[in-house]
Amino acid sequence: MTAYDDQNIFAKILRGEIPNVTVHEDDDTLCFMDIMPRTDGHCLVIPKTPCRNVLDASDAQLASVMSTVKKVANAAKAAFGADGITLQQFNEAAGGQEVFHLHFHIHPRHQGVSMRPPGKMGDMDAIKAHADAIRAAL
């Protein structure tokens, strides 16, 4: 298994080297807004401990992350009056992973509305407002 790179962007966020818009935090996990949102309310959940992806995650890391994913997904669904939630999780470069720290994307979804294309910076005021909405529903 490839070694964990502690210089990845999410490790830097965890160390406070890069700012983020936090939605939820507990002892084991952090949920923050994606700055290139593909849906309104697009956020990410990560473990606070080093872990590249599902393939090398411990059972405890997965349990903690999934508990937070469920909690935030329900709040995001309520906050946006969404019809459903799409979860995305990628493993290794061939599987689409770009940041090599375990993370789950949470996307509130509305019937008939496609996700936006990846890679476009979002409006930070809107992102902060979306975080406020999710936090209020937690």
Written as six digits, the tokens of 56 are: 């090398």
State the chain's mean pLDDT as an integer.
Answer: 98
Q: Rounded to whole angstroms, how far apart are CA atoms 116 and 40?
A: 9
How large is the average pLDDT for residues 28-53? 98
How large is the average pLDDT for residues 61-71? 98
| Catalytically active residues, by annotation | 103
How large is the average pLDDT for residues 105-116? 98
What confidence tier does 1 reach under pLDDT thresholds 50, 70, 90? confident
Burial of residue 122 (CB within 10 Å: 0-12, 13-18, 19+) is middle
Tokens 């508990």, located at residue? 67
How large is the average pLDDT for residues 4-17? 98
The answer to whether the CB of 48 falls within 8 A of the CB of 28 is yes
Q: Report residue 112 CA to chain centroid gap.
A: 23
Span 81-105, pLDDT tens digits:
999 999 999 999 999 999 999 999 9
Q: Which residues contact 55 (CB under 8 A, 6 or more apart)?
A: 1, 91, 92
Specify the pTM. Answer: 0.97
Residues in the chain: 138
